[in-house]
Amino acid sequence: MQNIITNAMTVYPQVARVVVAVDCIIFGFDGRQVKLLLIHRGFEPEKGRWSLMGGFVRGEEGLDIAAARVLKELTGLEGVYMKQLSTFGEPRRDPVERTVSVVYFALIDINQYAAPLSDRFRAEWFTLKKIPPLIFDHREMVTQALVRLRQDAETQPVLFELLPAKFTMPQLQSLYEGVFSRKFDKRNFSRKVLASGLIVRTKAKEKSGSRKGAFLFRLNKSRRTLRPVFEHIAN
Amino acid sequence: MQNIITNAMTVYPQVARVVVAVDCIIFGFDGRQVKLLLIHRGFEPEKGRWSLMGGFVRGEEGLDIAAARVLKELTGLEGVYMKQLSTFGEPRRDPVERTVSVVYFALIDINQYAAPLSDRFRAEWFTLKKIPPLIFDHREMVTQALVRLRQDAETQPVLFELLPAKFTMPQLQSLYEGVFSRKFDKRNFSRKVLASGLIVRTKAKEKSGSRKGAFLFRLNKSRRTLRPVFEHIAN
DNA sequence: ATGAATAATTGTCATAATGACACTTTATTT
DNA sequence: AAATAAAGTGTCATTATGACAATTATTCAT
């Protein structure tokens, strides 16, 4: 494997070169609440303060790859599907040196990923209402991610990423309520979700957390977008 | 004004530094069709081929600022509101040197901005169906921008950015049809748009392009999102 | 065994939004 | 005055929505 920049290659003259970083925002759902994963930053400046999972992009590494690597290194999480959110590049956002940061975000089912997070990593989950002060512009990143998450969730069935393969209707509703910070009527909620044809009821029941037990649902194999696609101007 | 990186400042050791660029995608509407603005690239490699408006971010310059400057330099356009789309950073996307490009996009009313584009710039408008081959990954950037534009237009009244202050109902419908690449029923279309309360009919008529003439509409002063916000899961 | 307690599940009705559909109006041109 | 071209407008059947509360299934306590 060779270095991509060899002596023979032309390079753009007179152009500033800067450090490029990635930051990862991981939202999780534990069946009750939507949470955000944070770590204690491991190096100066701001060492020890709460931070998103971030790191520098390496020479021969694409952005998506870098984000996956950084997440793995700092939390042990692997195979998490992350989407690019936005890029932050104010000249002084990082006091050490100009750093442009590409932000990724993902949704996961906390219970599914509980194991890797355990010991050697100092990552912790925070509910959205109790996010501690974060370094740099990380708080702004999270705010933007939430806006985007809600926007996406309005038009696409993305929130199912946060659930286990089988889930109950009350869990699904809590999830939506958590993400949108509001309550829904349970009769209307289930009517609407079922009408979408996206989920199917199984025969099994989940029997913890309630005396009666709740039926488990799963995603319909033939996943589609909710309603052929939402268009406020249609036909 | 000082340089932000002084000798006294610590810098991150062992970290790769790369060129950061911005590329601008400008969508326009001329009353009939949605179009894309392109220029002949002015430097090697790929000099002379069609390209988005791009340039390098300077040392002390934020990303938004850089995008506005680059657009101005290459097209003369000023005061265009651009939104960040996404960042492209595959290691070999630019064959000269690794370059991470932050992509911005905007919507404008072509007629309003006709003047600045005129002579000394070699920018040209292309209909979406006749986009020529573009350099690097610019075609992919445009594709993503269109997806995003449609997504945004489904939930927010963004398309009005593409229209002059006063516009006719048939123009508005053409715009939506152009962006979504489909036809709408004019009765249902106007019913729906009017029901949103977003636009108001004026007494004036636009009398070119039709014998009868068409009433002019304007945006309602009290702009809101179309319907309090679209939620596929609500209440 | 019985009853109390807890959370899940389910239905109605009035109103609003949607989609399919075609004729009338207005002003110009011939 | 008639033809033409595009703009403007109405109905109806179907579906989606939002507001609303009683019933069911199970466990726990007595």
Q: Is B235 on the interface with A (CB under 8 A)?
A: yes
Residue B45 preceded by cis peptide, ω within 30: yes
The beta-carbon neighbor of A235 closest among B185, B227, B233 is: B185
Q: Which residue in B5, B78, B171, B116 sits closest to A16, CA to CA? A: B5
The architecture (CATH level 2) of B158-219 comes to Orthogonal Bundle (1.10)
Instruction: Please report which residue ranges of A36-185 form alpha helices under DSSP H.
Output: 63-75, 114-117, 138-155, 169-180
d(CA B89, CA A50): 27
Residue A185 has pLDDT above 90, yes or no: yes
Name which of A45-49, A190-194, B168-172, B188-192 the model is least confident about: A45-49
Query: Are the C-beta atoms of residues A21 and A135 closer than 8 Å to each other?
Result: no
Q: Nearest nucleotide (C1') to the CA of residue B216?
A: D7
Pairing outcome for strands B53-56 and A199-206: unpaired
* Joined tokens for residue A204: 């099994």
> d(Cα B168, Cα B199) in Å, to the nearest integer?
11
List phi, psi (to 5°) of B112.
-60, -35
SS (H, E, C) A14-39: CCCEEEEEEEEEEEEECCCCEEEEEE
Per-residue model confidence (pLDDT) at position A118: 64
Residue A23 · residue A104 · CB < 8 Å: yes
C-alpha to C-alpha distance for A60 and A79, rounded to whole angstroms:
21
Q: What is the pLDDT of residue A225?
A: 38
d(CA B93, CA B103): 14
Cβ contacts of residue B150 below 8 Å, gap of 6+?
Answer: B179, B180
* Residue B78, Cβ density class (10 Å: 0-12 exposed, 13-18 middle, ≥19 buried): exposed
Checking each nucleotide's C1' against the CA of A191, the nearest proves to be C10
d(C-alpha A201, C-alpha A218), whole Å:
6
Question: Given CB atoms, is A20 within the 8 Å cutoff of chain B?
Answer: yes
CB of A185 less than 8 A from some CB of B: yes
**Tokens, residue A17:** 């070169």
- Overall average pLDDT of the A23-48 stretch: 89
List, as ranges, residues 190-219 from A with C-beta within 8 Å of B. Answer: 192-193, 196
Closest CA to A20 of A56, A62, A61, A70: A56
**Tokens in use for B234?**
């609500």
Residues of chain B contacting residue A153, judged by C-beta atoms under 8 Å apart: 233
Q: Output DSSP code: residue B197.
A: T
Which numeric CATH code is attached to B19-155? 3.90.79.10
Distance spanning both ends of chain B, measured CA to CA: 54
Q: How far is CA B55 from CA B41, B71, B129, in A?
A: 10, 9, 26
Distance CA B216, CA B167 (A): 5
CA neighbor of B101 nearest in space, from B109, B91, B110, B111: B91
* Confidence label for A9 from pLDDT (cuts 50, 70 and 90): low
Other beta carbons less than 10 A from residue B158's beta carbon: 15
The per-residue pLDDT for B9 is: 52
Chain centroid to CA B131: 15
What are the C-alpha distances in Å from B226 to residues A152, A231, B127, B158, B166? 17, 11, 28, 10, 19
**pLDDT by residue, tens only, chain B of 235 residues:** 333 344 445 688 889 999 999 999 999 999 889 999 999 887 778 888 999 999 999 999 999 999 999 999 999 999 888 999 999 999 999 999 999 999 999 989 898 887 777 667 789 999 999 999 999 999 999 999 999 998 888 878 888 878 889 999 999 999 999 889 899 999 999 999 999 888 999 999 998 878 999 999 998 865 443 333 223 445 5
Distance from CA of B5 to the nearest CA of A (A): 7
Contact (CB<8Å) A98/B4: yes
CA distance B235 to A7: 63
Find out whether the peptide bond into A45 is cis, omega within 30 degrees of 0: yes
pLDDT over 50 at A120, yes or no = yes
Contact A8/B at CB under 8 A = no
Give the percent of chain A with pLDDT over 90: 60
For residue A115, the distance in angstroms to the closest alpha carbon of chain B comes to 31
Same fold, A19-155 and A158-219: no
Q: What's the pLDDT at A235?
A: 53
User: Which helix (H) or strand (E) segment is B142 a member of?
Assistant: helix B138-155
Put simply, whether A181 touches B (Cβ < 8 Å) is no
Rounded to 5 degrees, what angle do the CA atoms B70, B87, A25 make?
A: 135
Predicted confidence at residue B235, as pLDDT, reads 52
Question: Structural domain boundaries of chain A?
Answer: 19-155, 158-219
C chain positions with any atom within 7 Å of a protein CB: 5-12, 17-22, 25-29
Interface of B with A in 114-173 (CB under 8 A): 151, 153-155
Is residue A9 within 8 angstroms of chain B, CB to CB?
yes
Residue scoring higher pLDDT (A25 or B158): A25
Q: For position A41, what pLDDT does the model report?
A: 85
CA atoms within 13 A on the CB side of A82: 29
Distance CA(A131)–CA(A141), nearest Å, equals 13
* Cβ contact B227–A232 (<8 Å): yes
A interface test, pick of B179, B233, B235 with most A CB neighbours within 10 Å: B233
The size of chain A, in residues, is 235
End-to-end CA distance of chain A: 54
Q: Is A61 exposed, middle or buried (0-12, 13-18, 19+ CB in 10 A)?
A: buried
Q: Do A10 and B234 touch (CB under 8 A)?
A: no
Q: A204 CA to D18 C1', in Å?
A: 31
* Residues in Cβ contact with B204 at an 8 Å cutoff, skipping those fewer than 6 apart: B166, B215, B216
Query: CB closer than 7 A to strand C: which residues?
Result: A 168-170, 186-188, 190-191, 205, 209-215, 232, 234-235; B 185-188, 191-192, 195, 207, 211-213
